[in-house]
C-alpha cells in the first residue's frame, strides 16, 4: 500500500474518530487494487508448507457472484491426518517452550497482524459483505485479542500459582497445555473469531489445526501468511479448508480438544462426538443467541431506537449477538415502532465496498432462504410493518441483498421469538410488566447477550439480576446487544449459547485451553 498506515485512525465497533476522511480516502484508492488481485489459488498450510492434497473449489463473493474470491483446497482425510500429526510434532516443542518465549512469538504475530489489518479488512468486505466500518473494526479487534491474551499470560506469570511450603513439603499448582486443538471458525467474523480461538490455544501452549468456514478461505490463507511472517515454529499453526474438513477434524485421532464457534446444533454434535472416546476431551463452543432487548417506560426512546436498530440490522443481522427480538413497554410502543421503522427504511443497502453503504448482502443462498422463510412466516402469523423484500436490479441481482424487516403482532410463543435467525429480521412485542417480558426473553434455549433501556434504578437492577445472558448492556446507544471488545466485555454464552460458562475476550478464556496440575515434592 502507498498510504501512510500509521497516520490512519483506529476504529472499533462502537467508537470512531470524528474525521474518517483519511480512512475512506485510503479505501477508495486501495480497494479497486485489492479487488483486481482476487481469484488466486490458495493451498492449505500444513507443517510450515503448502499442501494441495484434496479437491479444489472456487468461492464467489457474496457482494458480486461474478467475482471469484479464490480457489481453495477441500482437505482430504489424509491431509487432515497429516495436519494433526504435524500439530502433534509441533506440540512436543511448543508445549515445552517457556511461556515468555511463546508470548514473545505471539506478540510478533500481533504486530504482523497489525501491519496487515487493512488488507485483511478489504478481504472481509468481499468475503463476508461487511461494510468498511465493520470490517476494520473486526481486524482491529483481532490485534487487540492477541495483545490481551498475551497480557493475561504475563499478568498471571504463565498461569503458575505461587508455591506453598510446610511440613517438609513444597506444593505448587499450575496450568499446563492440553495438546492439539482443532479450531473451527464461522464465516461472519473470519478474522477476529479465528484469531480469538487460535491465539488463546497458542498462548496456553497448545498447537492448532485451524478449519475456517468454507466461505472464508481468503482470510484464512492471509492469516496463514501472517503466521509465517511472524515466524511461528513449524507445526504450531496448521490450516485445512473445506466443507467436510470440520467433521473429519473432530473425528481425527490425535485431537485433544476443539474450539468451535457456530450453530447450536453443530456445537452439541461436536460435544457428543468428543465424549465418545475413553474420556471426555474439552470442547469450547460459542453457539449463537437470540439476544432480546427490553425498552422500559423510563427509557430514552431515541437512544433505545438507535441501539436496537444497530444491533438488529448491522451486518445484515449475521451476528450471534444480533438483536432479533425487542420487548417494548406499552406506553412507548407506538412511538418506538414508528421511529424504528424510520431507521430501518433510512438504511442504505448496496455494495459494502462503497463508503456510504450501511448494509451489504447476506452471505449466501441458504441465508436468503432463511430470511425469506422468516418473513413469509411473519406475514402469516403477524404483520410486517417494514421491509421484508429482496432488493433487485444492477449489483443486487448478483447477491442476496434484502431489506431489514420488522414484524409485529405475533403470538407469544411464535418461532420468531424463539429461533436464531441470522438475518435482518426483528420481532417486536409490547409488555406491561418488565418481569413478564424478561420471563419471555429467558424462555429460549439461548443466553448470549441482552440489552435494557430505562432510567429507573429498580428496573435496571431487576434486569441485571434476572435476564439470563452472559453479556448484558444497559442504555447503550451504540448497540443494544452487540459490541463486545477484548478486556472490556467478556463474551460468555449461558444455556445453549455456550458449553463452559466462561467466554472469550475475558480473563477466564485462556485457562480453559489448559489442564490443572498440582505438584507436591517432599524436600529432603
- Res 20 pLDDT > 90: no
Q: Are 178 and 206 in contact (CB under 8 A)?
A: yes
Q: Percentage of the chain surpassing pLDDT 90?
A: 92
Q: Compute the CA torsion angle 62, 43, 193, 358 (nearest 10 deg).
A: -20
Structural domains for the chain = 75-116+141-287+502-515 (3.40.605.10), 292-485 (3.40.309.10)
Give the mean pLDDT of 472-492. Answer: 95
Half-sphere exposure of 65 (CA within 13 A, CB side): 13
Angstrom CA distances, 42 to 55, 92, 219, 366, 372, stand at 12, 28, 10, 25, 34
The answer, yes or no, to whether residue 1 has pLDDT greater than 60, is no
Whole-number mean pLDDT of the chain? 95
- 22 Cα distance to chain centroid: 27
* Chain mean position to CA 182: 17
- Report in angstroms the alpha-carbon separations of 328 from 37, 308, 358, 428, 433: 48, 11, 25, 8, 10
Q: Per residue in 389-447, pLDDT tens?
A: 999 998 899 999 999 999 999 999 999 999 999 999 999 999 999 999 999 999 999 99
What interhelical angle do 301-313 and 333-346 show, nearest 10? Answer: 50
Asked whether residue 16 carries a pLDDT value surpassing 90, the answer given is no
C-alpha–C-alpha distance, residues 323 and 328, integer Å = 13
Q: What is the mean pLDDT of residues 288-305?
A: 97
Over residues 77-84, mean pLDDT? 98
Q: In what order do the strands lie in the sheet with 425-431?
A: 383-386, 405-408, 425-431, 325-329, 292-295, 449-453, 471-474
pTM higher than 0.85: yes
pLDDT in the model for residue 21: 86
Question: Can you give 345-390 as a three-state secondary structure string?
Answer: HHCCECCCCCCCCCECCECCHHHHHHHHHHHHHHHHHCEEEECCCE
In this structure, are residues 65 and 82 in contact, taking their beta carbons and an 8 Å threshold?
A: no
Q: Dihedral of CA 283/191/79/108: which sign?
A: negative
CB 83 within 8 A of CB 209: yes
Tell me the three cell numbers of residue 198: 487460535
What residues are paired with 250 via a beta bridge?
A: none
Q: What is the pLDDT of residue 167?
A: 85
- pLDDT (mean) for 487-513: 94
Residue 15 neighbours by CB under 8 Å, 6+ apart:
478
Q: How confident is the model at residue 6 (pLDDT cuts 50, 70, 90)?
A: low
pLDDT of residue 19: 77
Amino acid at each position: 500500500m502507498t498510504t501512510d498506515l500509521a497516520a490512519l485512525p483506529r476504529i472499533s465497533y462502537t467508537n470512531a474518530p470524528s474525521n474518517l476522511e483519511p480512512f475512506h480516502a485510503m479505501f477508495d484508492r486501495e480497494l479497486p487494487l485489492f479487488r483486481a488481485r482476487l481469484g488466486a489459488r490458495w493451498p492449505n498450510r500444513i507443517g510450515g508448507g503448502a499442501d494441495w492434497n484434496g479437491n479444489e473449489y472456487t468461492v464467489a463473493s457474496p457482494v458480486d457472484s461474478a467475482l471469484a474470491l479464490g480457489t481453495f483446497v477441500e482437505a482430504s482425510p489424509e491431509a487432515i491426518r497429516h495436519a494433526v500429526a504435524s500439530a502433534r510434532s509441533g506440540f512436543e516443542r511448543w508445549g515445552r517452550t517457556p511461556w515468555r518465549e511463546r508470548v514473545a512469538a505471539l506478540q510478533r504475530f500481533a504486530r504482523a497482524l497489525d501491519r496487515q489489518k487493512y488488507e485483511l479488512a478489504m478481504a472481509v468486505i468481499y468475503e463476508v459483505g461487511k461494510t468498511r466500518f465493520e470490517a476494520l473494526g473486526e481486524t482491529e479487534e483481532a490485534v487487540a485479542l492477541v495483545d490481551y491474551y498475551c497480557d493475561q499470560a504475563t499478568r498471571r506469570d504463565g498461569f503458575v500459582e505461587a508455591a506453598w511450603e510446610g511440613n517438609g513439603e513444597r506444593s505448587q499448582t499450575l496450568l499446563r497445555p492440553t495438546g492439539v486443538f482443532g479450531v473451527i471458525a464461522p464465516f461472519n467474523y473470519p478474522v477476529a473469531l479465528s484469531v480469538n480461538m487460535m491465539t488463546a490455544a497458542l498462548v496456553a501452549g497448545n498447537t492448532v489445526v485451524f478449519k475456517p468456514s468454507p466461505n472464508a478461505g481468503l482470510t484464512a490463507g492471509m492469516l496463514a501468511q501472517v503466521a509465517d511472517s511472524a515466524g511461528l515454529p513449524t507445526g504450531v499453526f496448521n490450516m485445512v479448508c473445506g466443507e467436510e474438513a470440520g467433521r473429519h477434524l473432530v473425528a481425527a485421532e490425535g485431537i485433544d480438544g476443539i474450539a468451535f464457534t457456530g450453530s447450536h446444533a453443530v456445537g452439541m454434535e461436536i460435544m457428543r462426538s468428543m465424549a465418545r472416546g475413553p474420556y471426555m476431551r474439552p470442547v469450547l463452543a460459542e453457539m449463537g443467541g437470540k439476544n432480546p432487548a427490553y425498552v422500559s417506560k423510563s427509557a430514552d426512546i431515541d437512544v433505545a431506537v438507535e441501539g436496537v436498530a444497530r444491533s438488529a440490522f448491522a451486518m445484515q443481522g449475521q451476528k450471534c449477538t444480533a438483536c432479533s427480538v425487542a420487548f417494548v413497554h406499552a406506553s412507548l410502543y407506538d412511538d418506538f415502532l414508528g421511529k424504528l421503522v424510520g431507521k430501518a427504511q433510512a438504511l442504505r443497502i448496496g455494495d459494502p465496498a462503497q463508503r456510504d453503504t450501511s448494509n451489504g448482502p447476506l452471505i449466501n443462498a441458504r441465508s436468503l432462504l432463511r430470511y425469506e422463510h422468516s418473513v413469509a412466516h411473519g406475514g402469516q402469523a403477524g404483520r410486517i410493518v417494514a421491509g421484508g423484500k429482496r432488493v433487485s436490479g444492477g449489483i443486487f441481482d448478483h447477491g442476496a441483498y434484502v431489506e431489514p424487516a420488522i414484524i409485529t403482532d405475533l403470538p407469544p410463543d411464535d418461532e420468531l421469538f424463539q429461533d436464531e435467525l441470522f438475518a435482518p429480521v426483528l420481532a417486536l412485542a409490547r409488555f406491561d410488566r418488565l418481569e413478564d417480558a424478561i420471563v419471555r426473553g429467558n424462555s429460549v434455549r439461548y443466553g448470549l447477550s441482552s440489552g435494557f433501556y430505562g432510567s429507573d434504578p429498580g428496573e435496571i437492577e431487576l434486569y441485571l439480576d434476572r435476564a439470563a445472558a452472559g453479556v448484558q448492556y444497559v442504555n447503550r446507544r451504540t448497540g443494544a446487544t452487540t459490541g463486545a471488545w477484548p478486556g472490556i466485555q467478556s463474551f460468555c454464552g449461558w444455556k445453549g449459547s455456550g458449553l463452559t460458562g466462561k467466554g472469550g475476550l475475558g480473563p477466564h478464556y485462556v485457562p480453559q485451553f489448559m489442564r490443572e496440575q498440582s505438584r507436591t515434592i517432599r524436600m529432603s
